[in-house]
Amino acid sequence: MDTKFCRDCGYHRPVADFSVNKRSRDGLAFYCRQHLAERSLKSREARRVKPRTHRFAPQGTVVPEGHKWCPDCGSVKRLDAFPRTRASSSGRATYCLPCHNERGKRSREAVGGSRTYHLTRRYGITAEEADAMSAQQDGRCAICRTAPAAHVDHDHETGRVRELLCFGCNGGLGQFKDAPDVLRRAATYVEEHALRGAGEPTEATSGPASGSTAELVHRRVLWLLDEFRAAVDRPPAASGPPEWLVPRR
């Protein structure tokens, strides 16, 4: 992964511009160093004006065994009313489930809604960028080019976003572990057995009689083979704007 999307900048920046955050999926902060410093400064200034709410139960509050106090609603509830988390020694979140969900809702709204929140957290792109990708592909899957492009495809090793795929093609790539050589063999395998089922020779150079049903199957399989080869052989985008943001000529 050479670049990462900064929510405050609104565009991708080199990964060297981000500090380390072990709690994030990619191990980097959500904001570039400059905006992270600005956010930290604003947070410190806000605490000077309005001290941070204490996260421990007020003195005199009775918290029975197996219960926990929620700082937001001020209620004492059973532990199972708090979401699980590995971040605390108790294994439970600071806020009860309703308050936790409300805080999550406010966070998602602050970054443009739940869709943008999901896309930026998982893929580093905004909803507007995903819509631009869809428009660039005419709303169709980048592989089969027929089904709706509903899923963001990304490189599982680098995290780099590639293009939008339909459910079937996205799942297919995942099942084949994104291995080009395996995909090529699978395409050849399907092609050969389609010809066998049509009663034709198995050599790839031999085709069925013109105008027959076998010819249509043969042509369809060859087309799918070309599409798979093009998808797995497509070179990574060079440094600079993502490939899908450059208008086609």
CATH code (residue 211): 3.40.1800.10
- Is residue 4 situated within a structural domain? no
Structure confidence at residue 208 (pLDDT):
45
pTM summary value:
0.43
Structure confidence at residue 95 (pLDDT):
93
Q: What is the pLDDT of residues 19-37, one digit of tens each?
A: 998 777 778 888 899 999 9
- Is residue 31 situated within a structural domain? no
- Is residue 236 situated within a structural domain? yes
Q: What is the pLDDT of residues 80-106, one digit of tens each?
A: 999 998 888 889 999 999 999 998 888
Amino acid at 56: F
Q: What is the pLDDT of residues 180-210, one digit of tens each?
A: 888 888 888 888 887 776 655 444 444 444 5
% of the chain at pLDDT higher than 70: 73
- Is residue 144 situated within a structural domain? yes
Structure confidence at residue 107 (pLDDT):
74
- Is residue 231 situated within a structural domain? yes
- Is residue 102 situated within a structural domain? no
Beta bridge partners of 90: none
- Is residue 185 situated within a structural domain? yes
Domain count within the chain: 1
Q: For residue 104, what are its two tokens?
A: 């999550």
Band (pLDDT 50/70/90 cuts) for residue 110 is low
Domain of 221, in residue numbers: 125-249
% of the chain at pLDDT higher than 90: 24
- Is residue 169 situated within a structural domain? yes
